[in-house]
């Protein structure tokens, strides 16, 4: 399911226009992005939690020259932890 299909499903389920549903999806994405970028976490009970995690720097291998070692810097990456209700729904 892509963004447009999600917006259409929300529009059908909530009884709003597709334009309003697209605005809701865009707002959700923006709010989650802004929150985790600022170091916060977004918890949706039963669904899961969005957060940011710092991945440590490490030594890697240059793919163009496998004998050469390169330093990979630390980076902040998004993280999603599924909630219990979501996990249980997938088990059935």
Range of the domain at 30: 3-91
Predicted local confidence at residue 92, as pLDDT: 74
State pLDDT tens for residues 16-41: 999 999 999 999 999 999 999 999 99
- The CATH number assigned to the domain holding 32 equals 4.10.520.10
What's the pTM value of the predicted model, to 2 decimals?
0.79
**Structure tokens of 60?**
């890697």
Instruction: Enumerate residue ranges in the chain where pLDDT < 70.
Output: none
Q: Total domain count for the chain?
A: 1
Q: Residue 73's Cα: distance from chain center in Å?
A: 22
**Structure tokens of 42?**
């977004």
């Amino acid at each position: 399911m892509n963004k447009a299909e999600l917006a259409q499903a929300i529009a059908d389920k909530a009884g709003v226009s597709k334009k309003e549903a697209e605005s809701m999806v865009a707002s959700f994405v923006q709010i989650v992005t802004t929150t985790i970028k600022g170091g916060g976490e977004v918890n949706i009970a039963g669904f899961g939690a969005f957060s940011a995690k710092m991945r440590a720097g490490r030594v890697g291998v240059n793919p163009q020259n496998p004998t050469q070692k390169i330093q990979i810097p630390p980076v902040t990456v998004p993280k999603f932890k599924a909630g219990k209700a979501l996990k249980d729904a997938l088990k059935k």
